[in-house]
Amino acid sequence: MKNIFGFLVIGLLATLLYLTVFSDGLGKGPDITVKNAQGETFNLSKPMKPVLVNFWATSCPGCIKEMPHLAEMKHALGNRFELVAISMDYDPTEQVTKFIKANNYPFIFIMDTDGQIAKAFGDVLLTPTSFLIAPNGKIVYQVVGELHFENVTERIKQLSPQL
């Protein structure tokens, strides 16, 4: 019995070591370039600072509910990270444009009119869906549903201590 338990513990430790050292974990950010309000471009596969990518839709109550909280997080953390809000391809362009103009959120808004960005992130279908990409390009957090703001805020602070 002790031998079986010992092998089980060794197997679990080996799996943990593999997942933390050798695995890509949640994967890498896709090779997509976006532009912030200052006109600076950065690639999501090599962003140089944390990037929170949020897929949303105007027809999604959870998305609309979390937008002010995302704005508060962006104001609180400032330049420590970028926030990219990507509307889904099924969301009418006029409706998205109207929402963006009516809400002065400090995000980079992108309309995924052909669904290619959602596909690049593993075929995102549900909203809200969020990804936190580390400066090295690895996805370090992913959630379908509303964001866990405390966890993500702490993670951004850990990933950007120099700022």
> What residue spans define the domains of the chain?
27-159
Residue type, 111: M
Residue type, 122: G
Two tokens, residue 152 = 């993500």
Residue appearing with tokens 């950007």: 160
CATH number of 27-159: 3.40.30.10
For residue 17, the surrounding DSSP H or E stretch is helix 2-17
Residue-wise pLDDT for 96-144, tens only, equals: 999 999 999 999 999 999 999 999 999 999 999 999 999 999 999 999 9
Q: Among 16-20, 44-48, 56-60, which range has the highest average pLDDT?
A: 56-60
Is-contact 75 83, C-beta < 8 A? no
In this prediction the pTM is 0.82
Maximal CA-CA distance, the chain = 66
